[in-house]
Structure 1
Amino acid sequence: MRSIAAASDANHPRLVELDALRGLAALAVALYHFTAEYSDLYGHSVPLWGEVRFGKFGVQLFFAISGFVILMSLERIERAREFVLSRAARLYPAYWTAVVLTFMVVSLFGLPDREFSLQTALVNLTMFHELLRVPHVDTVYWTLTIELSFYLLMFMLAYARALPRIIPIFIVLVALQTLAELAFQAKGMPFVARLASRPHLQFFALGVLAFKQSRGQVSVPSALALVGVCFAHEALVGSIAPLPVFGVVLVLTYALSHGALRWLTWRPLLFMGFISYSFYLVHQNIGYVIIRRLEAAGWRPEAAIAVAFAVGFLLATLITYRVEQPALRGYRQWRRKAQARAAVSPHVA
């Protein structure tokens, strides 16, 4: 793999467009939860002015962004194991905080069908609870299992030094996923077919492709082949998102790879992207508790939703600045010290 010096942040500066897209995706998902999904689950006290049902597909954009960011991160590290440690430092502290907060709020104030035991909450802390068939403390955690699966795949490719061939590898993987789903559907095994589609590789692949295009490291035929197999998956098999969603994500990732989203520099949107991970983790069930309480007290649904957003922003900001960022700084300091010791030890010997 490339060394840190060869792929430094100085050579590849942070793309603010990524934060902007994260912010848009987080807002879309939250609007869906607070309007359409809440209506389906509990029903608002009076009809809303409008529901944002398309917002649920913000997760597909999250997957594509992860494809871009994870490949970019892997090209900046020297050893594959550093990827595991950096991802753990990035994900777990904020996640643990969110699990504890959500469990406490729901346990104290109640939320029908979303109240779980302390044992369930403790297993959730592993982030592998879905694999153990333990329910989510907050249902938004379902995407984390998929993200972890993608991280594992990318770690294996990095460890095998296969990243230079990642585009043809993803062409094969998405094609195999599509064929497997079609085969299981033909055999009357829809559950296994859905299981085969669970990795959502077609959306991660768009992000991977966008990163390689942004570096000028992919040929036009290879790019078209990857887009082709991803489109074939959506057209022939489908997924939890309708086909137009694939088109929107494709356009956004293509624009990202060609620097066409640099106009997305509105500070509130960039800040939303900065806190988006923490916001995503804490907004749903805590927001539902707030909406139920306020609507029961006679508030209009729109006002209750505004308060739920405000509380989500506040909690996410606190978690980002007091938990997530300090954890990342601590990890980076530890890594620098470890690298310094490793550089000195041969001379000492």
Structure 2
Amino acid sequence: MRSAAAASEANHPRLVELDALRGLAALAVALYHFTSEYSDLYGHTAPLWGELYVGKYGVQLFFAISGFVILMSLERVERARDFVMGRAARLYPAYWTAVALTFTVVSLFGLPEREFGFQTALVNLTMFHELLRVPHVDTVYWTLTIELSFYLLMFGLVFARALPKVIPIFIALVALQTVAELAAQAMGMPFVARLAGRPHLQFFALGVLAFKQSRGQVSVPASLALMGVCFAHEVLVGSIAPLPVFGVVLCLCLALSRGALRWLTWRPLLFLGFISYPFYLVHQNIGYVIIRRLEAAGWRPETAIAVAFAAGLLLATFITYRVEQPALRGYRQWRRKAQARTAVSPRIA
């Protein structure tokens, strides 16, 4: 989810505000988990100074950012398989490390209702475990299934050379999703309705639209049509996020597309965005273990939360610089060498 390649960057500079938005989303989700959700699951030993229930909707912002960034990343790929390999290099090394760390910490120190066997952890390493009905080692992984579904959709568009028509395709997909959910509800099939709504296409679509608008590659009528079907979905069907969340994400995407968020350059926020993927993967269950232990030892909940947050930041920083970034560099070096061999071979022949 980082910036485009050098050639693309020369034409379109890196948008640091993307890291800032990721940092805000990561901060919101973590504060929700450590305050509201922890209170519901285990209960803090004393009343908190405040809770951030709305922080749970930071994932909707993550989905929109993915829509923007994935389309930006596709500018530099020449083949569909390059997109798949690049995503794998970006996602899996950090994810495997997070699964191993979370499983180890929870196994050693315990966490009620979140302790699983080694076999479950192994299946989690595929990142497709939810499709196999295997529980998550950490419940935050539920969003990864949705992200992978979006990547698969974008892979299909690249493979079919349909990326230039991405806006009308998303208009059709969001409209079909809305119709499918309404039909399932009318027929008394809530499970099918929930399944149809799982892709969260309306939020990915906002990010896709923002990217196209930032490049001046979409007309006003097409923009209004896509925003309209997304809004109609939220009004007619709804989602796990209330309608105001959709409005906030839409406003942020529009501001992003117009360069109106370039003031978001606070370094701590940019750094949090840079490490946001590993932080998102490791903060929850490991943080819960820390909070439970410290509060049992008599610490104030706010202090325990601060320590859990700091531990998540340290682990995420380690994973980013020792796992994620080396893996990305290794993949890029391998790709450059492969391209060089491909370029030399015809000359030799």
Provide the TM-score with structure 2 as the length reference: 0.98
Quick one: percent identity of the two aligned structures?
A: 87
CA distance in 2, matches of 1:316, 1:217: 36
SS in structure 2 at match of 1:270? helix
1:177 corresponding residue in structure 2: 177
How far apart, in 2, do the equivalents of 1:15 and 1:329 lie? 20
Are 1:331 and 2:326 an aligned pair?
Answer: no
CA contact 2:8–2:75 (8 Å) conserved in 1: no
- Any idea what the Cα deviations from partners look like across 1:262-295, whole Å, max 9, x if unmatched? 0000000000000000000000000000000000
1:25–1:61 CA contact under 8 A, matched in 2: yes
Equivalence map 1:199-210=2 (5 Å): 199-210=199-210
| SS of match in other structure, 2:11 | coil
> Equivalents in 2 of 1:27, 1:211: separation in Å?
24
One-letter amino acid matched to 1:181: E
Q: Secondary structure at the match of 2:37?
A: helix
Cα distance in 2 for residues equivalent to 1:5 and 1:204: 22
In the TM superposition, what are the counterparts of 1:308-323 in structure 2 within 5 Å?
A: 308-323=308-323
Instruction: Tell me the distance in 2 between the aligned counterparts of 1:198 and 1:294.
Output: 37
Corresponding residue number in structure 2 for 1:18:
18
The 1:84–1:267 alpha-carbon spacing in structure 2 relative to 1, beyond 3 Å, is: same
In the alignment, residue 149 of structure 1 is paired with which amino acid?
S
Distance 1:331 1:8 in 2: 18
Change (3 A) 1:154 1:7: farther
Report what 1:38 is aligned to. Answer: 38
1:28 positional shift: 0.2
The correspondence of residues 118-129 of structure 1 with structure 2, limited to 5 A, is: 118-129=118-129
1:8 paired residue number: 8
1:62-141 → structure 2 map (5 Å cutoff) = 62-141=62-141
Displacement of 1:164 after TM fit? Answer: 0.6
Aligned residue identity for 1:117 = G
Amino acid at match of 1:8: S
- C-alpha displacement at 1:13, in angstroms? 1.7
Q: How does 1:156-305 map onto structure 2 within 5 Å?
A: 156-305=156-305
Q: Deviations over 1:209-254 (max 9, x none)?
A: 0000000000000000000000000000000000000000000000
Residue identity opposite 1:246 in structure 2: F
Identify unmatched segments of 5+ residues in structure 1.
Answer: none
Residue type matched to 1:80 in 2? A
Q: Give, as a single letter, the amino acid of the residue that structure 1 aligns with 2:279.
A: F
Structure 1 counterpart SS, 2:9: coil
Structure 2: stretches of 5+ with no match in the other structure: none
Cα offset for 1:5? Answer: 9.0
Post-superposition Cα deviations, 1:85-113, rounded to whole Å, max 9, x if no partner, equal 00000000000000000000000000000
Q: 1:8 Cα deviation (Å)?
A: 2.0
Rounded to whole Å, the distance in 1 between the matches of 2:116 and 2:241 is: 29
Q: 1: CA distance between counterparts of 2:341 and 2:18? A: 34
Question: Shift in Å at residue 10 of structure 1?
Answer: 1.2
Number of aligned residue pairs: 346
Cα offset for 1:137? 0.0
Tell me the residue number matched to 1:152: 152
Structure 1 counterpart of 2:118, which letter? L
Letter in 2 for 1:170: F
Other structure's SS at 1:97 match: helix
Q: Distance in 1 between matches of 2:165 and 2:7?
A: 18
Contact 1:67 1:207 in 2 (8 A): yes
CA contact (8 A) 1:168 1:222 kept: yes
1:14-41 deviation digits (Å, cap 9, x = unpaired) = 1000000000000000000000000000
In 1, Cα distance between equivalents of 2:82 and 2:14: 19
For 1:51, the equivalent position in structure 2 comes to 51
Distance 2:276 2:249 in 1: 18
Render the CA deviation track for 1:56-114: whole Å, top value 9, x for unaligned: 00000000000000011111111111000000000000000000000000000000000
After superposition, the CA RMSD in angstroms is 1.0
In structure 2, distance between residues paired with 1:308 and 1:199: 31
The alignment partner of 1:10 has SS state of: helix
Cα pair distance change 1:5/1:196, threshold 3 Å: closer
Q: Distance in 2 between matches of 1:235 and 1:48?
A: 34
Q: Is residue 7–residue 75 contact of structure 1 (8 Å, CA) maintained in 2?
A: no
